Homo-oligomer: A and B are copies of this chain.
Amino acid sequence: MRVVKSIKVLRKLLRKEKLSNHKIGFVPTMGSLHEGHLSLIRNCRRENEISILSIFINPKQFVKGDDFSSYPREEKKDIFLAKKENIDIIFFPTNKEMYSDGHSTVINVEKLSTVLCGKYRPGHFQGVTTVVGKLLNIIEPDTLYLGQKDAQQAIILKKMIDDLNWPVKVNICPTVREKNGLAMSSRNQYLSDNEKKEASILFRSLKEAKHTILSGQRDSKKIIQSIRNLITKNSSAKIQYIECVNADTLEKLTILKGKVMIALAVHLGRARLIDNIQIAVK
């Protein structure tokens, strides 16, 4: 395994692989690796000759009020874990390597970036699409691995890749959860043991809602209200949003039909937590 900090060195390493027609898989992360990331890495390893993990805490996707300065940084542990998974290359650039002075180009997926989390974190998804666009150009992978936990991020990146014709496939892997259902996230580190227990209500309420929908409920207002009640009764979480949307367009649904996604974001203790569930409704 090699840890590479320089774009130039990385390109040189990859040039040979490309000319040998080796498949390159890529897992972009902000480090602080957990089982969710490791599952992406395992899928990537299985499907490619060369697997690359990037670790870059991208300042441009943190917006005002976000946790950029306190975001967990665990370089040594991350390298240890990635090595255990037989990653071929870790790309670990500095801010300076990624953003030259006077960097002024942005990629923006309009509409999709302004709803759900985008409404509360304006500029966040532009930061994500810009940095992933850069990483795609640096690495030129055959397949990009993303987690379903960040559903809106995955949908936006897929849209960017389609709209701008990036020659890369996207593999969206299922959310990995704690035993109690809490979706794995680097930000779970912010939670106390007790808050972690409380946080289990997020996925429980989504599963309950799915059950209610599959039993015939089609009124999104009622579904949202029942999730809100469950979360409020069973935790100290402050709800930012709970929405029923179309899973492709992210448009709000009044009547639940087609590819439905229920997505939510809450603040619990020091953490902002998100989760989602998808339901095919006839």
Contact = CB atoms under 8 A, between A and B. Distances in A.
Given A7-B165, A164-B134, A104 B100 contact: no
Contacts of A162: 100
Nearest to A11: B167
A112 interface: yes
A11 B112 CA distance: 28
B100 A106 contact: no
Contacts of A100: 162-163
Interface string A133-159: 110011010000000000000000001
A103 interface: yes
A166 interface: yes
Contacts of A108: 105-108
Interface in A105-128: 105-112
Contact of A165 (B21, B104, B106, B134): B134
A122 to B, nearest CB: 16
A90 interface: no
A9 interface: no
Nearest to A109: B105
A160 interface: yes
Interface in A16-62: 18-19, 21
A99 to B, nearest CB: 8
A103, A140, A165, most chain B CB atoms within 10 A = A165
Contacts of A11: 167
Contacts of A103: 163
Contacts of A166: 137
Contact of A104 (B130, B140, B163): B163
A111 B106 CA distance: 11
A105 B112 CA distance: 10
Contacts of A165: 7, 134, 137-138
Given A107-B164, A130-B164, A138-B167, 10 more contacts: A11-B167, A18-B18, A100-B162, A105-B107, A105-B159, A105-B163, A134-B163, A137-B165, A137-B166, A140-B167
12 contacts: A7-B165, A100-B163, A104-B111, A105-B110, A106-B107, A106-B110, A107-B107, A108-B108, A133-B164, A134-B164, A137-B166, A138-B167
